[in-house]
Amino acid sequence: MAANTVTFRGLRDEEVYEDFEVEKAVAMESEVVKNFIEKDTGMEPLRFPIPCRNIKSGKVLEMVLDYCKFHAHARSFTIPDDDVKTWDNEFAEKALSADKNQVTFCHILLAANFLQIEDLFCLLLKAGADLLKDKSVEELRQIFKIENDFSEQEEEAIVQETKWTYA
Amino acid sequence: MGMPIDRLSDLPDNLLCCNILSLLPLKDAIRSSVLSTRWRHLWKHIPCLHFSRDFFESANHPDRVRSECLGYLKHTVDDILLRHSAELESFRIYFGHPLSRVNLENIAEWIDCAAVKGVKHLGLIIDFTTMEIHIPPSLFDCHSLADLELGGFTFSEIPTDFGGFLSLKTCSFSNIYNLTDDKLQQLIALCPNLQKLVLEACFQLENLRIRAPDLDSLKLRGCYSIESLTADCPRLVKLEVEDCDSLFKMQLNFCVFLQNVTASGFGSFGGVCTVKFLKTLSFMAYPEISHPPFLTLVGSFPDLEELKLTAIFFEDMTVGKMVVPRQDVAAQKLLAHTKFPNLKKTVGDGRIR
């Protein structure tokens, strides 16, 4: 492995894995990696691939690293904020529509949390919140496949409790 | 490896509630409790409760008041605070107009509740009121306060056993009645870590003396009765004084880091400032500004790099690093007489005079 790259290993299980090699600058978008590299005493940083046990699929890791690549690039080439924002919004859209149940979205969110990529984490949180905003209860249940496991009386009681929110 | 995540609902609690739900307006967050048993109690752990202007307007709507009661707002806030079960990082509530007194009855208890929950950011804004609403003593029990914003209250006494807001970093007082120089001084002395202070429309302040070792930003706005300002703030970096028409004396002691002063609406300014390293100074100069005192003021900044004078009645002319009112002859004279070694200036048609 070259001295300027870092490899992330997405572990499906102990046998099956997928490696992604990126430039060091890209990997440093992750606070976890950044701390690790900075604490290193100048020896070849990260000779071994970083095991990402919590990141279940290669696709998720790939998307996360795409984000990191763009942002590392944007930083060094000072791409205007508006363009970065547009890219970010498109990325969030892609993450949300990657599959029907927002599973990929959730996994990317968790990966951003695990690798401590603050900007990605906040971006997705906001995207998630925007999805939930101003929707009726029925719409929310449909979009997020939430099963209503309340009895009729229970549901009625909760609606009563929170009736001010239905103004 | 953790539970499988099949959908949004499967995210861990702290991600769902502390993060996502807390980004929603309070209304939407609380409504989520009816989605399913999983979501029932999640909202109760969000770290911030913000009762915004929208909430006030809907709770105070005449239709609602007619069908429910005058104190509907109070009951709703009571209810939510009662059910909320976690620590509270941020509590903000806005009261608009018209406001019936009954809705303010439980403010002291609300603050008490927030204090117990370890509130760090507290905002209580009362807009447009002629009522005298005293700051509840329970405010002084909020020991973990890092950020305080109060508007429209009447300041009473600081309790004698008050140990101070030791973590308070930012403080903003707007339209606070009965806030005298002494009381403000006393309060600031008890907040040793204060970094940012904003005072707006506090009409009982006259001779303001601010002694705050950590203060880096001070803003005074619309405090019409302030006549003098003395700041002993060794870390002050930014000072903004706007619409303080009676201010005639400003003394900034030991402010070696002060870089940025923005001032507007001065009456006759005759102050002395001892600030060595000031780099940018902006004044909204009205045509009547009396120049000798102004020259004295401006002359005490040998390191000045940028001087901006803006006269609202004239068309501004931007010349290099200086903005000069084109028709303000007096301002032109000022520039001709001042000597700033670091000030890059060209005047008029580009030639240095």
Cross-chain residue pair B28–A166, CB shorter than 8 Å: no
Which ipTM score applies to this complex? 0.78
Residue B301 has a pLDDT of: 61
Average pLDDT over residues B29-44: 88
First to last CA, chain B: 76
Model pLDDT for residues A28-76, shown as the tens digit of each residue: 888 888 887 777 655 455 677 777 777 767 788 889 999 999 999 998 8
Give the residue from chain B lying closest to A127, CA to CA.
B20
Q: Residue B35 has what pLDDT?
A: 87
The per-residue pLDDT for B277 is 60
Q: Which of B69-73, B78-82, B273-277 has the highest mean pLDDT?
A: B78-82
Which pLDDT score, from 0 to 100, does residue B189 have?
94
How close B176 gets to chain A, by Cα (Å)? 31
CB pairs under 8 A between A and B: 95
Alpha carbon of B257: minimum distance to chain A alpha carbons (Å): 30
Q: Alpha-carbon distance A11 to B327, whole Å?
A: 72
Residues of A in contact with B32 (CB under 8 A): 132, 140
pLDDT of residue A86: 93
A129 interfaces chain B, CB cutoff of 8 Å: yes
In this predicted structure, what is the pLDDT of residue B313?
Answer: 36
Is residue A1's pLDDT more than 50?
no
Question: Measured between CB atoms, which of A106, A133, A147 is closest to B8?
Answer: A106
The yes-or-no verdict on residue B208 having pLDDT over 70 is yes
Could you give the CA distance from residue B259 to residue B266 in angstroms, rounded to a whole number? 20
pLDDT at residue B257, rounded to an integer: 73
Token pair, residue B326, equals 């084109």
| pLDDT: which is higher, B27 or B342 | B27
The pair phi, psi for residue B308, each rounded to 5°, is -125, 120
Greater confidence (B273 vs B279) lies with B279
Query: How far B237 CA lies from chain A's nearest CA (Å)?
Result: 27
Q: Cβ separation of B7 and A54 shorter than 8 Å?
A: no
Nearest Cα to A79, choosing from A87, A90, A67, A91? A87
Residues of A in contact with B1 (CB under 8 A): 53-54
Q: How far is CA B139 from CA A74, A77, B110, B165, in A?
A: 46, 49, 10, 10
Q: Which of B10-14, B136-140, B175-179, B257-261 has the lowest average pLDDT?
A: B257-261
Rg (Cα) of chain A, in Å, rounded? 20
Which residues of chain B lie closer than 8 angstroms to A102, CB-CB? 7-8
Residue ranges of chain B whose CB lies within 8 Å of a chain A CB: 1-2, 5-11, 15, 19-21, 23-25, 27-28, 30-40, 58-59, 61, 64, 72, 76, 79
Per-residue model confidence (pLDDT) at position B130 = 79
Taking a contact as any Cβ pair under 8 Å apart, which residues of chain A between 76 and 95 contact chain B? none
Mutate to test the interface with B, among A56, A97, A101, A132 (most CBs of B within 10 A): A132
Q: How far is B216 from chain A (nearest CA, A)?
A: 27
What is the nearest CA distance from B31 to chain A, expressed in angstroms?
6
- Residue B119: strand, helix, or coil: coil
Residues of A in contact with B38 (CB under 8 A): 146
If you measure CA to CA, which chain A residue comes closest to B40?
Answer: A158
Q: Is the pLDDT of residue A150 over 50?
A: yes
The band of B243, judged by pLDDT with boundaries at 50, 70 and 90, is: confident
CB contact under 8 A, A146 and B9: yes
Of A90-94, B118-122, B266-270, B279-283, where does mean pLDDT reach its minimum? B266-270
Model confidence over A98-138: pLDDT tens digits?
887 788 888 888 889 888 999 999 999 899 888 888 888 88
pLDDT, position A67: 93
At B46 the three-state DSSP class reads coil
- Residues with Cβ within 8 Å of residue B199, at least 6 apart in sequence: B172, B173, B184, B205, B208, B219, B220, B221, B223
Compute the distance between CA of residue A71 and CA of residue A167 in angstroms, rounded to an integer: 42
Note the pLDDT of residue B101: 83
pLDDT the model gives residue B219: 94
| pLDDT at residue B193 tops 90 | yes
Q: In terms of C-beta density within 10 A (0-12 exposed, 13-18 middle, 19 or more buried), how is residue B130 classed?
A: exposed
Q: Give the closest residue to B338 by CA, choosing from B304, B289, B287, B290.
A: B304
A150 and B15 within 8 Å at the Cβ level: the answer is no
Residues forming a β-bridge with A51: A9
* Residue B337 exposed, middle or buried by CB count within 10 Å (0-12, 13-18, 19+): exposed
Span of A127-131, B79-83, B326-330 with lowest mean pLDDT? B326-330
Tokens of A156: 């009625």
For residue A163, give the DSSP letter: G
**Mean pLDDT on B297-321:** 50
Mean pLDDT of chain B: 77
B chain contacts of residue A132, beta-carbon cutoff 8 Å = 20-21, 24, 28, 32
- Please name the residue ranges forming H helices in chain B: 13, 26-31, 53-59, 62-67, 72-83, 107-116, 181-189, 291-299, 329-337
Looking at the complex, report in whole angstroms how far the Cα of residue A44 sits from the nearest Cα belonging to chain B.
Answer: 31
How sure is the predictor about B207, in pLDDT bands with cuts at 50, 70 and 90?
A: very high
Angle between helices A103-114 and A118-132 (to 10 degrees): 150
Most confident of A154-163, B20-29, B210-219: B210-219
What pLDDT sits at residue B268?
40
Q: What percent of chain B clears pLDDT 70, i.e. is strictly above it? A: 71
**Are B288 and B265 spatial neighbours (Cβ–Cβ below 8 Å)?**
no
Burial class from Cβ neighbours inside 10 Å (0-12, 13-18, 19+) for residue A27 reads buried
With CA atoms as reference, the chain A residue closest to B12 would be A110
Min mean pLDDT across A51-65, B152-166, B282-296 is at: B282-296
State the best of B7, B39, B73, B103 to mutate against chain A, taking most chain A CBs within 10 Å: B7
Burial class (CB in 10 A: 0-12, 13-18, 19+), B192: middle
- Compare CB distances from B5 to A106, A159, A162 and report the shortest one's residue: A106
Contact partners, residue B205, CB within 8 Å, separation at least 6: B179, B180, B181, B184, B199, B223, B225, B226
- In the predicted structure, residue B169 carries a pLDDT above the cut 80: yes
Asked whether residue B4 carries a pLDDT value surpassing 80, the answer given is no
> Does B36 contact A149 at a Cβ distance shorter than 8 Å?
yes
Please state the separation of Cα A167 from the chain's center in Å: 34
Q: Chain A residue with minimal CA distance to B79?
A: A161
Which pLDDT band, with edges at 50, 70 and 90, does B211 fall under?
A: very high
Q: pTM for the full model? A: 0.77
Mean pLDDT of B70-79: 86
At residue A85, the pLDDT reads: 92
Average confidence score pLDDT of chain A: 83
What mean pLDDT comes out for the span B331-341? 53
Chain A residues near residue B79 by CB distance under 8 angstroms: 161
